[in-house]
Structures are given as C-alpha cells and as structure tokens.
Amino acid sequence: MQKETKIIPPHPLLAKGGRGDLKGFALWITGLPGSGKSTLADGIKKLYPEFIILRMDEFRKVVTPKPTYSDFERDVVYRSLVYLAKIMAGQGHNVIIDATGNLRKWRTLARRLIPKYSEIYLKCPLGAAMKRERERTCTHKAPKGIYKKGAKGWPVPGMNVPYEEPKKPELTIETDKVSVRQSLGIIKKLLFRLSRQ
C-alpha cells in the first residue's frame, strides 16, 4: 500500500506570492523591565518559529560575565547586540531583539544599520511594571528583584536611569490594558503588513 504523502505548506510569512515574503527582518521589542517583552517575544517565536530571539539578559552574561551596568558598559553591550542583529538579518534570518534599550540612540543605530527594521514599544506604567516584575516566576535570565535593587540605588531604567520612549515606533501596545493574546494579535497584523511591503 502506498504511503500517503503529507504536504506541509510554507509558513505564511515566508510564502512568496501569498501573504508576502519576510526575511532578514529585525523586530526590537522595547519597554521597561517587567513590561512584557520576553513574554511577547516567546509568543511571536511560537507563532513564527523562523524568528530567532536575541535576549539582552542572556547576551550580557556572555559579553560581561560580571556586569557593572555602567554607562560605558551599557553602550558597548547594546552596540554589540545591534551589530549581531544586523549580521543575522543580513544573512536572511528574522530576529527579535528582546531588550529594554533605554536610550533612543541604540534603537536609532539599529534602524540605521538594519534595512528591514521595526520597533514595538510596550508602554506600561512604572507601577504596573514593578508589580509584574515582582510577581513573575520566569525571569528569562534577567536579574531578580530589579526594582528592589533600584530602590537601593542600583541603575534601573525608569527609576534612576532614564528610559527614552520611542518617538515613532511601528507599534505601541499598552500592556497594562491589553492581554498577551490581544497583543500577539496586534503584532500578527503588523507582521502581515510588513510582509506585503
């Protein structure tokens, strides 16, 4: 008896002539610690397995095993992360940058270096972000008790280190008002639109 052949259709974002062709793309998810960046990055990865997640907290542990979080160190680490994303996108990979990126200059650098680049800003009040960070069980390699440390003088974006909001992100999601499922639905629409450009 002949074995039935199962045909698996190409992923919608990679299917030419269908919903478009999205390759070599970088998506930076930015926002305060605890705003939901890693949760949404994981959600996108589940929907679109071809995306590769670059997590700042994992990347930092390799580049600076004993981080001091000084201004100079942050600058070097973020510029290195942006360059890595540029190289990967240039090789045709789809990349998610899961990083606070508290200074606008780093996101501007990414936009300048990566031809196919978009920013998703997770807008979340500091109080809501602090509550989430306090209650989360999975930190995705981020330091635990970030805001507690911030209260003791540790440099934390939004507390004692500035967080510069994006001026013109491709997407802004108020994560204190919108569920994860709803947020992913909004992001899917963005990716669909980008894949048609």
pLDDT in tens, 121-162: 999 999 999 998 888 776 666 667 888 888 888 888 988 899
Give all strands of the β-sheet with 117-123 in edge-to-edge order: 51-55, 94-98, 26-31, 117-123, 171-174
Structure tokens at 69: 């979080």
**pLDDT digit string, tens, across residues 15-64:** 443 445 678 999 999 999 999 999 999 999 999 999 999 999 899 989 98
Longest dimension (CA), the chain: 72
Distance separating alpha carbons of residues 175 and 152, to the nearest angstrom: 27
Domain ranges of the chain: 26-195
pTM summary value: 0.86
What would you report as the CA-atom Rg of the chain, rounded to the nearest whole angstrom?
18
E-state strands within 41-182:
51-55, 94-98, 117-123, 171-174
CATH of domain 26-195: 3.40.50.300
